[in-house]
Amino acid sequence: MKFICSQKNLSASINIVQKAVSTKTTLPILKGILIETCGQKLKLVGTDLEVGIEHYIEANIVSEGSIVISSRLLGDIIRKLPDADVEVEVDETNNITIRCENSEFTLIGQPSIEFPELPAIEEENIYEIPQDLLKNMIRQTAFATALDETRPILTGVLMEIQEGIINMVALDGYRLSLRQGNIKTDFNNKAVIPGKTLNEIHRILSEEENSKVEIFFTDKHVLFQMANVRIISRLLEGEFINYKQIIPKEFKSRVKVKTRDLLDSIERASLLAREGKNNLIKFSVKDEMMTITSNAEIGRVFENLRIELEGEDIDIGFNSKYFLDALKILDSDEIYLDFTTNVSPCIIKPTDTNNYTYLVLPVRLAG
């Protein structure tokens, strides 16, 4: 095998497929990247068996073949090469020679036959979605997945597609994040995608408005396909919680507040909350004011916010982390906080769109 390609392209490509390479794997071959000629293109593949990423780049293919090379070492070498053409040559005994200007590396590769094949996915039932929308949907949901593996299904995000509407939902037992979008498809589907996969996809998706991503499902896998990248992930097995049941439809108090002001106030209050237990902050809503307080051994804090209140006054406690997480991903300048009682969930919603709902459970206040 022999090919020539630009250092910039090769380095960018390694960067992309490396996101699927685990450094902790016990299978040595998985620490490598598969490089394979593919017509007049070069295919790079990285996988940790959970998620696999294939990336295609332009190259001058002199002779065909394939090889597996240590991902870390190859990435470091190519990144450090000058911005020039890189020539890669592999002999029959899997010795790789990399030449670029005045540098010559000789590395020992592994035969590509040992590299696991990514699951084949038949490309039928296309779901097409703009990349920037998917990127936003991931950003606004994946953070709310459970981190511990007690209930594996909660480490994933439910992707529910019905009649041209896509819902992405994550929840961890303390809060729930729901984002809705529109998708171009005639088909319906429901699958739970690992949060880790989505976080990697988020880093690869572009923010350009006109680029699309195509999504295909099988029973066990999902494929995200973009211009030069294919990302294939296994799905989580099991039934996702019936989240619609959890979200209250009514409220007794609706607070309208500036997102940024609330974020700043809670960030300051949480400095004391973190000194105490549970990151506890307390909201007191009365007339046109909301007071946020937090107490710790070393001191206490009062934050006063001007709000618009519709309905009853309320005193309610929260873990500040769960509030901050949501406020950081909300794009709207103003939000509603909907309360019923101080032991029932609070709903956070943007004032200018219906596409996002966040639910957070209160912390029971003593006394």
In the complex, the residues that contact a copy of itself under the rule CB under 8 A are 70, 73, 76-77, 80-82, 96, 102-108, 264-265, 267-268, 271-272, 275, 297-305
Distance of closest approach, residue 190 Cβ to a copy of itself, in angstroms = 42
State how far the Cα of 201 lies from the Cα of 49, in Å rounded to an integer: 16
State how far the Cα of 14 lies from the Cα of 46, in Å rounded to an integer: 9
Nearest residue (CB) to a copy of itself, 158 versus 273: 273
Residues contacting residue 348 through CB under 8 Å, at least 6 positions apart: 323, 326, 327, 330, 335, 336, 337, 338, 357, 358, 359, 360
Distance of closest approach, residue 347 Cβ to a copy of itself, in angstroms = 25
Nearest residue (CB) to a copy of itself, 244 versus 260: 260
Distance of closest approach, residue 19 Cβ to a copy of itself, in angstroms = 21
Q: Return the axis-axis angle of helices 131-139 and 195-204, rounded to nearest 10°.
A: 140
Distance of closest approach, residue 278 Cβ to a copy of itself, in angstroms = 18
Nearest residue (CB) to a copy of itself, 60 versus 302: 302
Distance of closest approach, residue 286 Cβ to a copy of itself, in angstroms = 15
* Phi, psi for residue 55 in degrees, rounded to 5: -135, 140
Chain centroid to CA 210: 20
* Phi, psi for residue 77 in degrees, rounded to 5: -65, -55
Nearest CA to 173 among 144, 196, 194? 144
Nearest residue (CB) to a copy of itself, 228 versus 284: 284
Nearest residue (CB) to a copy of itself, 28 versus 238: 28
Nearest residue (CB) to a copy of itself, 104 versus 310: 104
How many CB atoms are closer than 10 A to CB 59? 22
State how far the Cα of 310 lies from the Cα of 113, in Å rounded to an integer: 66
- Specify whether the backbone of 162 is left (phi greater than 0), alpha (psi in -120 to 50) or beta: beta
Distance of closest approach, residue 226 Cβ to a copy of itself, in angstroms = 31
The secondary element (H helix, E strand) that includes residue 168 is: strand 165-171
